[in-house]
Amino acid sequence: MAKATKKQALGRGLSALLKDPENDINSAEDKNADKVVGNIVELDIDSIEVNPFQPRTNFNEETLRELASSIRELGVIQPITVRKLAFNKYQLVSGERRFRASKLIGLEAIPAYIRIANDQESLEMALVENIQRQDLDAIEIALSYQRLIDEINLTQEQMSERVGKKRSTIANYLRLLKLDPIIQTGIRDGFISMGHGRAMVNIEDQVDQLEVYEKIISNKLSVRATEQLVKNFSSDETPAKPEEVTPEMPKYIKKGVKDFSDYFGHKIDVKVAKNGSGRITIPFHSEEDFNRIKKLVQRDK
């Protein structure tokens, strides 16, 4: 009977496997641990607690609502990472903004990577093996590289050795994660290529990225055409206003400024327009200083 129950649990997928007391996985050596390490699992959001030692405590409410709106439309693009505390109980390792935004819109489950005791080496092996797969899209590869940085603390040089890729190649994949989530989804769904994404990364503002993305989709632009569009887009930005040429100060004002400064005991600022009109500014440094200047002005009435 027990064997039948286990088979049935396995048939329900990883989420069901983790909820089966008879298959409780606590270390990398436990049975079925290989099915969890390096894989995405849908976890009940109520089974996850935040890390009490999380150094970040302030979360911008507006950006959190924007992320929640994105998750409502597109889902959680990048899974969170949790560590197993006990049976069906987990603690957040990374992805608290995604976690909070998902709770904000009432999601009951969230995709997660699960870290279990002594799984560091197993996780690294699983991630490296995952990167070598041929059917991964560019964003999946980028996320795997990012996990090696965040969770295994590998540098790009170390990753280059592990996966047999040039450091510049790894850097190009990681830059794709700077794209707006909608564009990342477009790459994952095959609407645009990694080449399109690499071109758009050169636009920092994500609103501008989306504007270019819409043009690529509607006009079916090639990568080369996209590169030119991005180049033109950058050059079309509003040029900086030319510096205003300050007219030369007339001699009578130059002499008068010195007299004003000596009288009020401060350096007096004078602005002169092209038409000859101007403005005199008398600075003060305290209430006492202000009252002193006021008396000087009133004394001459």
Q: What is the 3-state secondary structure (H, E, C) of 106-120?
A: CCCEEEEEEECECCH
Q: Are 88 and 19 in contact (CB under 8 A)?
A: yes
Q: Which of 92, 122, 109 is nearest to 44 (CA)?
A: 109
Among 29, 62, 96, 244, the active-site one is 96
Q: Are 193 and 223 in contact (CB under 8 A)?
A: yes
Tokens of 246: 């300050």
Residues 6+ apart with CB under 8 A from 210: 180, 182, 183
Q: How many CB atoms lie within 10 A of CB 34?
A: 13
Q: Are 157 and 149 in contact (CB under 8 A)?
A: no
C-alpha 99/C-alpha 111 separation (Å) is 10
* 62 in catalytic set: no
Tokens of 223: 């990568």
Distances (CA, A) of 96 to 49, 57, 92, 275: 10, 10, 7, 60
Q: What is the CA radius of gyration of the chain?
A: 31
Q: What is the 3-state secondary structure (H, E, C) of 262-275?
A: HHHCCCCEEEECCC
| Residues assigned a catalytic role | 96
